[in-house]
Amino acid sequence: MLRHFTQTRSIHSTRTLFNLKAAIADAIPKRREELLRIKKNFSDVKVGDITVGSVLTGMRGNQSMYWESTTLDPNEGIRFHGRTIADCQKMLPGAPEDNGDGEFLPESMLWLLMTGEIPTEEQSRQLTQELAERGAKLPSHTEKLLTSLPRDMHPMTQLAIALASMNKESIFAKKYEEGSIGKKDYWEYIYEDVLNLIAVLPRITGKIYSSLVNDGEPLGHFNVEKDWSYNIASLLGMTVRDSVNVHSLTKERSNDFVNLIRLYCGIHVDHEGGNVSAHTTHLVGSALSDPYLSYSSGIMGLAGPLHGLAAQEVVRFLVEMENDVDSVENVKQVEDYLWKVLNSNRVIPGYGHAVLRKPDPRFDAMLNFTEARPQEFKSNAKVQLMKNLSKIAPRVLQKHGKTKNPYPNVDSASGILFHHYGIDQLLFITVIFGCSRAMGPLSQLVWDRILGIPIERPKSLDLSSIKKLCKI
């Protein structure tokens, strides 16, 4: 049901607005005015030159997208409305029951992405509760559809299908079809769809996973009193209460797993606009396809091995390499393994990046998670191999001489940590990425509609036009 924000807005100042929609509404007039003023007065200002090289190499370095909530610096990594990961870890509220000891909640990050403001504990709590209420039920047709899919269909394909099927629920699509809304109102209904979509991701994820490992029988139940990440963990059967606790985790280890999900989902939300999943969501949304269709398309991009699927590929890579070498400490054997891959013209998954030119700070954040728990991880050879590789692979890639960035990206650490706690369905790992990535691109989609960003339609060039430009 559509929530009315205007009443809350008239009573509270931005600081005390507890409802996310009210906080966004409060920020709209200033931002719309700013963008309009810039469009009117500065549209001729040059951003940069587009080269033939950029046209022929995936638009690399071409600054031509408007993106609100995150910016990527090649050397320093991602910032969320100007805040580094470390800032977010200091400032964003975590789960009340963790008393400041756990990771921040992805819900707190969602508030930051949508509003540009650090939420208070109360705002974070309210949003957590709102998402839990919205996400308590999966539409029955989506549930049935997921049940009917072949068990061996790739989990990312299942996720994309489930999301696309929810287009049936789209409030925006319905209003648009009725002709009952004008351009200025679009954002309100896009917002409702976006929140409903993010809210059901734990349920969709749990359903896909239970179909893989438990004949479709639920492994846990959704607890409306709990946060989004906790519910993901429960539905994967990884909590002591609220799930069958598949791996008999102790309370402490289960709590660590929940915090791993919070950390992972908190920092994978967005990587500015140009990455494949974000750009696709934005592009499809620019045709006014509703958020379910837009993000389903984003998921299909995330499912590519050069993008999000690298998370799965890294785990497969580590498992295979560990089997192949005598010891993960044997540097020579690890190097030889890497050369074998490179010489067969394949990529080392988890290494390299289209924009970053230093180790990914998200990789460091995942590594810090293991370093804070030395006892937990010390006897896991694959986790040790992941760490050793982060020193060995850059040397090998530098010697190989092709890769512009020889350092680890986020995918090189993340999946193996889930695997460590028992998520051993390797093809499933990127689905958790898909839960997180919804938050950034879909926040942008709300702002795209607030600001009236038009349909995206770059001009393409054929070879004869390129030759003419090159005077060939």
Ligand X SMILES: O=C([O-])CC(=O)C(=O)O
Ligand Y SMILES: CC(=O)SCCNC(=O)CCNC(=O)[C@H](O)C(C)(C)COP(=O)(O)OP(=O)(O)OC[C@H]1O[C@@H](n2cnc3c(N)ncnc32)[C@H](O)[C@@H]1OP(=O)(O)O
Kindly name the residue from 268, 271, 282, 307 that is annotated as catalytic: 307
Three-state helix/strand/coil letters over 322-347: HHHCCCCCCHHHHHHHHHHHHHCCCC
Pick the binder of ligand X from 355, 381, 392, 461 (CB under 6 A): 355
* φ/ψ bin of 418: left (φ > 0), alpha (ψ from -120 to 50), beta (otherwise): alpha
Per the structure block, which two tokens stand in for 103?
A: 């990771």
Pick the binder of ligand Y from 350, 361, 415, 440 (CB under 6 A): 350
Measured from the CB atom, the residue of 53 and 216 that comes closer to ligand X is 53
Supply φ then ψ for residue 72, to 5 degrees: -110, 120
197: amino acid identity, one letter: L
96 SS3 class: helix
- 91 near ligand Y, rule: CB under 6 A: no
- 272 near ligand Y, rule: CB under 6 A: no
Measured from the CB atom, the residue of 54 and 245 that comes closer to ligand Y is 54
In sequence order, what DSSP letters do the residues of 377-432 get, joined into one string? Answer: HTT-HHHHHHHHHHHHHHHHHHHH---S--SB-THHHHHHHHHHHT---GGGHHHH
Measured from the CB atom, the residue of 77 and 93 that comes closer to ligand X is 77
- 354 near ligand X, rule: CB under 6 A: yes
Output the residue with the shortest Cβ distance to ligand X. 275
For residue 311, give every residue at least 6 positions away whose Cβ sits within 8 Å of its Cβ, in sequence order, or none. 411, 414, 415, 429, 430, 433
Measured from the CB atom, the residue of 358 and 468 that comes closer to ligand X is 358
Active site residue 419: no
- 135 near ligand Y, rule: CB under 6 A: no
Smallest gap from Cβ 412 to ligand X, in A, equals: 11
352 binds, among ligand Y, ligand X, none (CB under 5 to 8 A by kind): ligand Y
Smallest gap from Cβ 411 to ligand X, in A, equals: 8
Measured from the CB atom, the residue of 20 and 267 that comes closer to ligand X is 267
Supply φ then ψ for residue 210, to 5 degrees: -65, -30
- 232 near ligand Y, rule: CB under 6 A: no
134 binds, among ligand Y, ligand X, none (CB under 5 to 8 A by kind): none
Give the rounded distance of the alpha carbon of 437 from its chain centre.
2
- 317 near ligand Y, rule: CB under 6 A: no
Q: How many residues interact with ligand Y (rule CB under 6 A)?
A: 20
Active site residue 462: no
Under 8 Å between Cβ of 257 and 286 = no
299 binds, among ligand X, ligand Y, none (CB under 5 to 8 A by kind): none
Smallest gap from Cβ 276 to ligand Y, in A, equals: 7
Pick the binder of ligand Y from 307, 387, 420, 449 (CB under 6 A): 307
Kindly name the residue from 353, 360, 419, 420 that is annotated as catalytic: 353
Measured from the CB atom, the residue of 211 and 430 that comes closer to ligand Y is 430
Pick the binder of ligand X from 296, 384, 409, 414 (CB under 6 A): 409
Pick the binder of ligand Y from 155, 220, 308, 359 (CB under 6 A): 308
Pick from 65, 456, 59: nearest CA to 283: 456
26: amino acid identity, one letter: D
**Residue 306, number of CB atoms within 10 A of its CB:** 12
- 298 near ligand Y, rule: CB under 6 A: no
Kindly name the residue from 290, 411, 419, 420 that is annotated as catalytic: 411
Under 8 Å between Cβ of 55 and 351 = no
- 407 near ligand Y, rule: CB under 6 A: no
Under 8 Å between Cβ of 425 and 316 = no
Smallest gap from Cβ 362 to ligand X, in A, equals: 8
Active site residue 307: yes
Three-state helix/strand/coil letters over 154-211: CHHHHHHHHHHHHHHHCHHHHHHHHCCCCHHHHHHHHHHHHHHHHHHHHHHHHHHHHH
Residues 242-301 contacting ligand X, CB under 6 A: 271, 275
Pick from 218, 330, 306, 205: nearest CA to 265: 205
Under 8 Å between Cβ of 349 and 295 = no
Chain residues in the site for ligand X (CB under 6 A): 271, 275, 354-355, 409
What are the catalytic residues?
A: 307, 353, 411
Chain residues in the site for ligand Y (CB under 6 A): 306-308, 310, 342, 347-354, 402-405, 409-411
